[in-house]
Structures are given as structure tokens and as C-alpha cells.
Structure 1
Amino acid sequence: MAFAWRASGLTYNRYLAVAARVVRRSLKEGPRLQAERRGEMELRFAKWENGKQGENKSLAQENASSMAEHASEGQK
């Protein structure tokens, strides 16, 4: 039996991010604002090829574009 998050095309990390966002949004105003600030982060990555670092990219932007591309492929 496949997990629901896997069947829907999500990675486990993306599934956890969605679940965390849902929990944060369900909190009352004060604790929600604190939790949302803790949840914000800016991760960057770069691919290395032949011992040289490639362009730094935002992980959030790359995830969003990958999810949009995956969604458009599913509609075809």
C-alpha cells in the first residue's frame, strides 16, 4: 500500500512542510505569529560540477517551480 503523500506526487519533505503550515495556521493569533516566524527560512543551494560551484538558487523558488511543472504535466 502506497502512502497518500507519495501517491499524490509529493516528497516526504514537502508533505511535512504542508502539514506544518496547516498546524501553524490552526493556532490562535499570538502563538500563530510566533510559529510562522520560526517557520520562515531562506535556504539556498548550488550544484557542483568538475570542482566548480554553480549558481546559487533559492530552494523555495526551485520547489515552487518544480511543483508547478509537475502539476502542469499531470493535466496533460
Structure 2
Amino acid sequence: MTFAWKAAGITYNRYLAVASRVVRRSLKEEKRLAAEPRGESEVRFAKWSNGKPGEPKHLAEANAQDTITRAGGA
């Protein structure tokens, strides 16, 4: 027997993220407002060069910048 998330072609981590979001959205207003920030995450990274880290950047901002650059915008 295969797991539903495997059969759907998603990873277990993605399955957990979707399930958590569904549970948070199903809560009553007061509890939902308290639980919403738990679903947010902030990922930062730094490019290393010659054994030293570069300037830390937010992943979402770097991805947006890269998308604009590849599209020929900036």
C-alpha cells in the first residue's frame, strides 16, 4: 500500500506543509490569527568564496531578483 502523498507525486515535507496550512485555515478566527505566523518561514543564504561567507540575502528576494534579471528587466 502506498501513501497518498507519494501517489500524488509530492514529497513528505510538501505534504506536511499543505496539511498544516489546511488545519490552520480551518481554525476559528481567534485561533487562526494566532496560528498563521507559524506557517511563515524565512530562509537566508550567503554565497561562500575563498572560505568566507558573502552578504546574507533573503532567498525569496534573491529568487525574485534572479527572475527579473533573466527576463532582461534589470
TM range (shorter): 0.5 to 0.7
**Whose radius of gyration is greater, 1 or 2?**
2
TM-score normalised by the chain length of structure 1: 0.57
Which residue identity does 1:31 align to in structure 2? K
Secondary structure, in 3 states, of the residue corresponding to 1:42?
coil
State the one-letter code of the partner of 1:6: K
Q: Percent identity?
A: 70
Residues 19-69 of structure 1 deviation map (CA, whole Å, 9 limit, x = unaligned)? 000000000111101100122111245787xx687xx6737xx8xxxxxxx
Q: CA RMSD in A?
A: 2.8
TM-score scaled by length of structure 2: 0.59
Q: Is the 8 A contact 2:42 2:58 kept in 1?
A: no
Runs of 4+ in 1 over 4 A off after TM superposition: 45-48
Aligned residues: 60
Change in 2 beyond 3 A, CA 1:30/1:6: same
The reply on whether 1:27 has 2:27 as its aligned counterpart is: yes
Which consecutive unaligned segments of at least 5 residues does structure 1 have? 63-76
C-alpha distance 7-47 of structure 1, shift in aligned 2 (>3 A): farther
The 5-angstrom pairing of residues 8-27 of structure 1 reads 8-27=8-27
